[in-house]
Amino acid sequence: MVEPIIELQNVNLIYPNGTRALKNIDLSVTPGEFVFLVGHTGSGKSSLMKLIYRENDPTLGLVIVEGNEVSEMKRSQIPYLRRRIGVIFQDFRLLGHKTVFENVAYALQVTGASRSVIPRKVNKALTLVNLREKADRLPSQLSGGEQQRAAIARALINDPVILLADEPTGNLDPDSSWDIMQILSKVNARGTTILVATHNQQMVDIMQKRVIVMDHGEIIKDVQNGMYFSNDNHPHNNEEA
Amino acid sequence: MSEEKDTPRRGPSGGYYIECFLREVITNIRHNPMMSVASVSTVMVLALILGFFVIIVVNLDALATELTGEMQIKVYMDSNFNPEQVNTFKSQAYEIGHVVKVNFVPKDEAFRRLRQRLNAKLDLNDLDGNPLPDSFEVPVDDPNFLEPVAQKIAQLANVATVDYGREEAYKLMKLNHVIRLVGFVILVMLFASTLLIISNTIRLTVFARRKEIDIMQLVGAADWFIRWPFILEGVTQGMIGSALAATLIDISYRIVVPQLHKSISFLPIMAPAQIMPFLNIGLVFLGCAVGALGSLISINRHLKA
Ligand SMILES: Nc1ncnc2c1ncn2[C@@H]1O[C@H](COP(=O)(O)OP(=O)(O)OP(=O)(O)O)[C@@H](O)[C@H]1O
Ligand SMILES: [Mg+2]
């Protein structure tokens, strides 16, 4: 059996204000998997992802990434964890005063990359997301889909083993969303483990990947080659334990 | 996780990073000119006041030392005194009390010292014989007893004159202590408020750039990488403020000292070259330190939050 790359054991998360965002989560993701995380708004998808890149610590339970317990890591080790995990969001989170090239290069600079490797690596990442010709534009001069592609290039620049995408197509039209999905598939095909939280039903149905359904902080369904599922949109897909 | 082997890229070209940081610092100061002005001027006020106190204290110290001599009574004997009476004098002097030591200075020794002090400036060979008397040096344990002890010694046999530092010198020393204390208290308060103002300035910068800091953390920047630009900004502000103050103090001292020498020439005022280099370096160093500390406080508060 392959060692899981992400593992959650009996994870519970209660926010300081008392909200129980995650309840008794057990989850195991093997390297190279492509996983959709679906569920109603407030069901805990973002909260779960934040535990993986240690934006938050679980109140109870273990979060293990590449065999290391994330909440055991010292503060000084967190940057190294983050370099192993790329993250993208619905709102892209690009720096408005930097060009596309600079935004992507920035993620390399902060790791202390030598100046000589930066242009080559950045151009490679921009080529992957098909954005080389627009490298010198500011984010405000790009479409939403292009901005998300720039964000993906930035997330991939440090060659992460995991890519977390929290509603990556939430702000995008269907065509752009499809572009993003194709890029994610391409990245996944190179071996990167991918976790996508989404409300995009059509996308999930077409992609035929593993689907984890969350509801009120719990995993209520976890199926391979699954379809989108929610409480009011009842299951018509092949279930697996 | 194999973080070590996967991140062999660490600071291969320091100059490049300094260039990046400096560019950030300049951008920040440009974005926030009023707060930068506030920081720079508070550091300047701090350094000005510190410099002022240091100059006063150092000069009063020198003056007091000059006036008191070495807290001892000089006893000059008359021509009837002969060296065989040294031990008698010593025991009589000790009986007075508060006498730490009684040190005999034969006239030959006194002449030798004088010649050494005058060096080649005066040809003492022109003198026939040694005009100096035998003398004693009598240090006391407390400056308050200089006068009573000296008066009693003056009444001993064969004493011609006694000489001791004036009481005013001790008053001056006490005043200097008070000035030092007051200066210290004022400076501590000023230091604290300067820290506060600088850390607030930097906090605004941190706030303005919180999105950027979040992204830096998200893509795996180490805490120190994030801190550096802010610390440099604080140091720059502290350095500019204190350098301005040091320049101002330097120029005014160089103008004032010759004037003072002209009007009250007997006062031993320190030459600018004697204190200014140390003072300037010290002030700029302090300015940088207060700037670094102030920004460290606010960026750390943000990072730990
Ligand atoms: N920082 C926070 N402090 C307190 N409660 C929070 C915090 N973040 C999220 N929550 C709460 O935790 C629960 C889970 O939120 P989470 O953002 O994980 O849901 P989600 O599945 O990502 O929702 P969406 O689909 O709308 O993004 C919600 O009830 C939310 O209100
Ligand atoms: Mg969410």
pLDDT at residue B130 tops 60: yes
CB B72 within 8 A of CB B269: no
Per cent of chain B over pLDDT 70 is 81
Predicted pLDDT of residue B119:
63
Predicted pLDDT of residue B219:
92
More confident residue, B202 or A91: A91
Does ligand 1 have an atom closer than 6 angstroms to the CB of A46?
A: yes
Single out the residue of A45, A23, A55 nearest to residue A196, CA to CA: A45
Per DSSP bridges, beta strands A20-29 and A34-39 are unpaired
Single out the residue of A50, A89, A90, A88 nearest to residue A70, CA to CA: A50
Backbone angles phi, psi at A54, to 5 degrees: 50, 50
CB-CB: which of A110, A114, A117 is closest to B220? A110
Cα–Cα distances (Å) from A224 to A5, A66, A189, A239, in that order, read 17, 22, 17, 8
Please tell me the least confidently modeled range out of B9-13, B79-83, B118-122: B9-13
Q: From CA B210, how far away is CA B205, in angstroms rounded?
A: 8
Predicted pLDDT of residue B212:
85
Predicted pLDDT of residue A231:
53
**pLDDT band, residue B9 (cuts 50/70/90):** very low
Single out the residue of A190, A156, A15 nearest to residue A88, CA to CA: A156
Per DSSP bridges, beta strands B103-105 and A210-215 are unpaired
pLDDT at residue B11 tops 50: no
A146 Cα–ligand 2 center, Å: 21
Predicted pLDDT of residue B210:
87
Q: From CA B141, how far away is CA B35, in angstroms rounded?
A: 55
Q: From CA A44, how far away is CA A26, in angstroms rounded?
A: 14
Strand partners, B136: B75, B104
Does ligand 1 have an atom closer than 6 angstroms to the CB of A198?
A: no
Q: From CA A165, how far away is CA B138, in angstroms rounded?
A: 88
CB-CB: which of A65, A76, A112 is closest to B9? A112
Q: Which amino acid is at B130?
A: N
Structure tokens at B164: 């001791």
Assess A197–B contact: CB distance below 8 Å, yes or no. Answer: no
CB environment B240-257: b (16+ within 10 A), e (fewer): bbbbbbbeebbeebeeeb
B62-77 tens-digit pLDDT: 777 666 656 778 899 9
For the segment B13-26, the average pLDDT, to the nearest whole number, is 67
- Please name each of the domains of chain B with its CATH number: 16-67+172-304 (no CATH), 72-164 (3.30.70.3040)
Strand partners, A9: A62
CB-CB: which of B3, B13, B225 is closest to A110? B225
Residues in chain B closer than 8 A to A79 (CB atoms)? 217, 220-223
Min Cα distance B25 → chain A (Å) is: 15
**pLDDT band, residue B10 (cuts 50/70/90):** very low
DSSP code string of chain B: --HHHH-----S-HHHHHHHHHHHHHHHHHH-HHHHHHHHHHHHHHHHHHHHHHHHHHHHHHHHHHHHTTSEEEEEE-TT--GGGHHHHHHHHHHHSSB---EEE-HHHHHHHHHHHHTTSS-GGGSSS--PPPEEEEEBS-GGGHHHHHHHHHTSTTEEEEE---HHHHHHHHHHHHHHHHHHHHHHHHHHHHHHHHHHHHHHHHHHTHHHHHHHHHTT--HHHHHHHHHHHHHHHHHHHHHHHHHHHHHHHHHHHHHHHHHSTTS-PPPHHHHHHHHHHHHHHHHHHHHHHHHHHHHHHHHH-
Averaged confidence pLDDT in chain B = 81
B34-67 tens-digit pLDDT: 777 888 888 898 899 889 888 888 887 777 766 6
pLDDT at residue B108 tops 70: yes
Predicted pLDDT of residue B233:
84
**pLDDT band, residue B262 (cuts 50/70/90):** confident
What averages of pLDDT result for each successive group of 10 residues across chain A (241 residues)? 92 96 97 96 96 96 96 92 96 93 93 89 95 96 96 96 97 94 96 96 92 95 82 47 37
Which residue CA neighbors atom 8 of ligand 1 most closely?
A: A47
**pLDDT band, residue B1 (cuts 50/70/90):** very low
Cα–Cα distances (Å) from B66 to A29, A45, B137, B170, B204, in that order, read 83, 80, 17, 11, 52
Please tell me the least confidently modeled range out of A9-13, B1-5, B203-207, B294-298: B1-5
Per DSSP bridges, beta strands A60-65 and A6-14 are antiparallel
Residues in chain B closer than 8 A to A193 (CB atoms)? none
pLDDT at residue B129 tops 90: no
Which residue CA neighbors atom 4 of ligand 1 most closely?
A: A15
Predicted pLDDT of residue A134:
96
* Residues comprising chain A, all counted: 241
For the segment B175-186, the average pLDDT, to the nearest whole number, is 82
Per 3-state DSSP, what percentage of chain A is helix, strand, and coil (rounded to 5)?
Answer: 35, 25, 40
**pLDDT band, residue B19 (cuts 50/70/90):** confident
Assess B217–A contact: CB distance below 8 Å, yes or no. Answer: yes
Single out the residue of B10, B34, B41 nearest to residue B245, CA to CA: B41
More confident residue, B176 or B249: B249
What ipTM does this complex have? Answer: 0.87
SS3 A23: strand
Min Cα distance B293 → chain A (Å) is: 21
Q: Is B263 left (phi over 0), alpha (psi -120 to 50) or beta?
A: alpha
DSSP state, A96? T
Predicted pLDDT of residue A2:
83
CB A217 within 8 A of CB A10: no
